[in-house]
Structure 1
Amino acid sequence: MDDNVRDVWLDCDPGHDDALAIILAGYDKLLNLLGVSTVAGNQVVEKVTLNALGTLTASGLSSIEIHGESGLEFAEGGSMQDYAVGSPLPQKAVMLMFERISAQFAKRGRPVCLVCTGALTNAALLLLLYPEVIPMIEVVLMGGCIGSGNTGPVVEFNMQTDPEAAKVVFEAGVRSLTMVPLEVTHTALATPAVLLRIAQRQTPFLQLMQKLLLFFAQTYKEVFNFEHPPLHDPLAVFYVACPSAFTVRRMRVDIETCSTLSAGQTVCDIHRRQNALPENASVALTVDVEKFWDSMIAAILKADMLSPLNISSNNIA
Structure 2
Amino acid sequence: MGEVPPHADRKSVWLDCDPGHDDALAIILAGYDSRLRLLGVSTVAGNQTVEKVTLNALGLLTAAGLHSIPVVQGQAKPLMRPAQICPAIHGESGLEFLDGSSMQDYAVGSPVNEKAVLYMHSCISSHAESQPVALVCTGALTNAALLVSLFPELLPKIEIVLMGGCLGTGNTGSVAEFNIQSDPEAAKIVFECGAPVTMVPLEVTHTALATPAVLQRLSVRSTPFLGLMRKLLLFFAQTYREVFSFEHPPLHDPLAVFYVACPEAFKVKRMRVDIETSSPLSAGQTVCDIWGRSPLGPNATVALEADVDSFWESMIAAVMKADMVSPLNSPKNPV
Shift of 1:213: 2.0
Find 1:88's aligned residue among 111, 124, 130. Answer: 111
Q: How does 1:157-306 map to 2 (within 5 A)?
A: 157-174=178-195, 176-274=196-294, 276-306=295-325
Shift of 1:202: 1.3
Distance between the aligned counterparts of 2:169 and 2:199, measured in 1?
Answer: 15
Match of 2:55 in 1: 50
Report the AA paired with residue 284 of structure 1. A
* Alignment coverage as a number of residue pairs: 310
Match of 1:13 in 2: 18
Report the AA paired with residue 119 of structure 2. L
Q: Could you tell me whether the CA contact under 8 Å between 2:198 and 2:303 is conserved in 1?
A: yes
Distance between the aligned counterparts of 2:182 and 2:232, measured in 1?
Answer: 22
Shift of 1:2: 5.0
Q: Cα RMSD between the aligned structures?
A: 1.3
Report the AA paired with residue 63 of structure 2. A
Query: Is 2:310 aligned against 1:310?
Result: no
Shift of 1:61: 0.2
Q: Could you tell me whether the CA contact under 8 Å between 1:190 and 1:214 is conserved in 2?
A: no
Distance between the aligned counterparts of 2:18 and 2:308, measured in 1?
Answer: 24
Shift of 1:224: 2.9
Q: Deviations over 1:19-51 (max 9, x none)?
A: 110000000000000111000101111110000
Match of 1:110 in 2: 131
Q: Could you tell me whether the CA contact under 8 Å between 1:213 and 1:231 is conserved in 2?
A: no
| TM-score, L = length of structure 1 | 0.95
Report the AA paired with residue 258 of structure 1. S
Match of 2:81 in 1: none
Distance between the aligned counterparts of 1:138 and 1:110, measured in 2?
Answer: 10
Structure 2 gap segments, 5+ residues each:
1-5, 74-91
- Do the aligned partners of residues 32 and 171 (structure 1) sit closer, same or farther apart at CA in structure 2, a change above 3 Å counting? same
SS at match of 1:216: helix
Report the AA paired with residue 26 of structure 2. A
Query: Is 2:30 aligned against 1:25?
Result: yes
Distance between the aligned counterparts of 2:60 and 2:241, measured in 1?
Answer: 26
Structure 1 gap segments, 5+ residues each:
none
Query: Is 2:144 aligned against 1:139?
Result: no
Shift of 1:216: 2.3
Distance between the aligned counterparts of 2:150 and 2:315, measured in 1?
Answer: 34
Distance between the aligned counterparts of 2:146 and 2:15, measured in 1?
Answer: 15
Distance between the aligned counterparts of 1:76 and 1:146, measured in 2?
Answer: 36
Shift of 1:223: 3.4
| TM-score, L = length of structure 2 | 0.90
